[in-house]
């Protein structure tokens, strides 16, 4: 961990959520437009079968002949295009990647490993290989989030057998989303295809490709991936925001739009905190059971996977709340449901306002569990990206940046020492961690929601005062 990079977290509650906007809050923006995110190859998440079988499939898809790096059980592996270099590891609490070490008894598993290879296919598609335990709890939540952000899933069927319940549940979830699905069927796995289609009929719309890693016959799959990647590049050419005139109804000036916006923020804050408390109760139960079943030495790795999923759920819940607040508030001011172009303009203006708000501070933030059972913070986009299963381009539709939760490096060797094998002490430490994470994460989510409120007040107050949407 970088020296001096940690600072104590001060728990505070947002203030002024229900008041009318002050004069300073209804000024105009001074920020420049957001810098466009550079394009990069499309991403495909690889799951199914076992990691050895997936490595064999990747080895036949890629032409450079370099071996796909081995990885610990819970670690994602990302293959990108570039000069051939040794793989690097991304660890919670470290802003920069580290050389991939050989794991010793006291080391910790990275969240992800990345390797660049000069393979032609990687110019179009980067691969994100999921862990073997990704379909369990809490790995399923992280895997679904990664598929959503990447936009595609390549699922390798394993042998001529019926799919397991966890596979059926996962693929049913993915089929109901917007991600593209590629199903690789190895030679002799025709029965698995029939069984999977019977269990998940929606997969009939997926792209099915026969593969034979033993003979290197993956041509159909490679062509399908390249074709999809080309279409993705076309879709990424975002349509320019239409700067048409949007008039504000005259009666809105004297309405209670600001009070109702504040009320939506308070309601969202309450719901987010309730969901967080429920998720933490489930997390605590699973981790306590792991201590009983696997011993104290297993606690840090189990807990790190759990808080990874917790951060994914918290970010998703907060984003959904922000979307609801923005949509309902803009609709009230316009007295009509805004179209996508208008909504995009307001969202971009809110993002710019967050960057200008001194009260918001650094929103790219990592919460790190310490060996004492407390929580410390690390700020910066690179610190947050180090905790992700896959760090792709920024989501242009997201108003708030991601945040991460992880364990500091000292937690892993601490609980592997023979002197720290007391189950009661481990349970007491887990109790302190859950309580501290709930306080800090709840405060962080509240801080984010209130920052959105202040920024949205500026946008809508300008519109109401001038009778036009200025964003």
pLDDT (tens digit, 9 = 90+) per residue, 210-225? Answer: 998 777 789 999 999 9
Query: What is the distance between the alpha carbons of residues 12 and 413, in angstroms, rounded to a whole number?
Result: 32
Mean pLDDT, rounded, for 170-183? 96
Q: How far apart are CA 433 and CA 368, in angstroms?
A: 10
Residue 261 has pLDDT above 80, yes or no: yes
Question: Which pair of structure tokens corresponds to residue 322?
Answer: 């922000």
Q: Is the pLDDT of residue 25 over 50?
A: no
DSSP H or E segment with residue 99: strand 98-99
Task: Lowest mean pLDDT of 45-59, 62-76, 323-337, 414-428, name the range.
Answer: 62-76
pLDDT for position 65: 66
**What is the model's pLDDT at position 175?**
96
Residues 290, 296, 301, 305, CA torsion sign: positive
Mean pLDDT across 47-60: 90
Closest CA to 128 of 115, 110, 141, 109: 115
Distance (Å, rounded) from C-alpha 336 to C-alpha 352? 24
- Reading the block at residue 82, the tokens are 């570039």
Crossing angle of helices 165-175 and 139-150, rounded to 10°: 30
Res. 24 pLDDT band, cuts 50 70 90: very low
- pLDDT tens for 310-354 read 999 999 999 999 999 999 999 999 988 888 889 999 999 999 999
Sign of the dihedral through C-alpha 171, 175, 177, 182:
positive
Query: Torsion over CA of 338, 394, 238 and 77, rounded to 10 degrees?
Result: -130
Name the nearest CA neighbour of 112 among 158, 153, 150, 78: 78
Nearest CA to 235 out of 152, 312, 346 is that of 152
Alpha helices, H only, 251-379: 257-294, 299-334, 340-356
Q: In this structure, how many other beta carbons lie within 10 angstroms of the beta carbon of residue 132?
A: 18
Cβ-defined contacts of 276-284 (< 8 Å, 24+): 276/314, 276/317, 276/438, 276/441, 276/442, 276/445, 277/438, 279/310, 279/313, 279/314, 280/310, 280/434, 280/437, 280/438, 283/138, 283/307, 283/310, 283/434, 284/430, 284/431, 284/434
CB atoms within 10 A of CB 357: 17
- Residue ranges and CATH numbers for the domains of the chain are 7-30+244-466 (no CATH), 42-236 (3.40.50)
Please give the Cα distance from 456 to 117 (Å, whole number).
Answer: 44
Residues 189, 210 contacting (CB under 8 angstroms): no
Q: Which residue has the higher pLDDT, 233 or 450?
A: 450
Residue 214 confidence (pLDDT):
74
Higher pLDDT, residue 306 or 103: 306
Q: What is the mean pLDDT of residues 235-248?
A: 70
Q: How far is Cα 420 from Cα 297, in angstroms, rounded to an integer? A: 8
Dump pLDDT digits (tens) for 348-400: 999 999 988 888 778 999 999 999 999 999 999 999 999 999 988 767 778 99
Phi and psi for 404 in degrees, rounded to 5?
-130, 155
Whole-number average pLDDT of the chain: 85
């Amino acid at each position: 961990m970088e020296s001096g990079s940690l600072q104590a977290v001060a728990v505070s509650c947002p203030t002024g959520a229900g008041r009318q906007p002050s004069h300073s809050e209804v000024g105009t923006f001074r920020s420049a437009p957001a810098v466009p995110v550079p394009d990069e190859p499309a991403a495909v998440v690889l799951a199914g079968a076992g990691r050895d079988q997936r490595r064999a499939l990747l080895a036949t898809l890629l032409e450079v002949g370099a071996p796909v790096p081995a990885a610990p059980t819970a670690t994602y592996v990302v293959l990108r295009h570039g000069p051939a270099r040794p793989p690097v590891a991304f660890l919670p609490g470290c802003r920069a990647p580290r050389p991939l070490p050989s794991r010793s008894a006291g080391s910790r598993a990275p969240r992800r490993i990345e390797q660049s290879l000069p393979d032609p296919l990687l110019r179009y598609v980067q691969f994100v290989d999921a862990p073997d335990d990704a379909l369990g709890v809490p790995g399923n939540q992280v895997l679904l989030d990664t598929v959503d952000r990447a936009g595609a899933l390549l699922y390798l069927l394993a042998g001529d057998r019926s799919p397991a319940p966890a596979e059926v549940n996962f693929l049913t979830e993915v089929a109901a989303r917007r991600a593209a699905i590629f199903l690789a069927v190895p030679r002799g796995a025709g029965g698995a295809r029939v069984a999977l289609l019977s269990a998940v009929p929606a997969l009939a719309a997926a792209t099915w490709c026969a593969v034979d890693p033993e003979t290197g016959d993956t041509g159909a799959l490679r062509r399908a991936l390249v074709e999809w990647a080309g279409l993705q590049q076309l879709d990424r050419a975002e349509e320019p925001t239409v700067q048409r005139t949007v008039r504000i109804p005259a009666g809105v000036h004297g309405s209670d739009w600001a009070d109702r916006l504040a009320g939506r923020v308070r309601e969202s804050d309450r719901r987010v905190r309730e969901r967080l408390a429920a998720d933490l109760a489930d997390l605590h139960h699973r981790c306590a059971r792991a201590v009983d079943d696997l011993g104290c030495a297993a606690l840090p790795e189990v807990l790190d996977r759990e808080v990874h999923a917790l951060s994914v759920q918290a970010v998703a819940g907060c984003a959904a709340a922000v979307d609801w607040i923005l949509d309902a508030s803009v609709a009230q001011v316009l007295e009509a449901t805004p179209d996508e172009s208008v909504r995009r303009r307001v969202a971009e203006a809110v993002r710019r306002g967050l960057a200008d708000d001194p009260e918001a501070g650094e929103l790219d933030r990592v919460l790190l569990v310490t060996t004492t059972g407390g929580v410390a913070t690390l700020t910066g986009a690179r610190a947050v990206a180090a905790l992700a299963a896959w760090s792709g381009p920024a989501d242009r539709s997201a108003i708030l940046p991601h945040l991460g939760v992880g364990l500091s490096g000292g937690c892993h060797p601490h609980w592997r020492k023979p002197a720290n094998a007391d189950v009661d002490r481990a349970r007491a430490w887990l109790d302190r961690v859950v309580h501290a994470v709930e306080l800090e994460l709840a405060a962080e989510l509240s801080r984010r929601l209130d920052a959105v409120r202040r920024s949205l007040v500026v946008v809508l107050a300008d519109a109401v005062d001038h009778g036009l949407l200025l964003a």
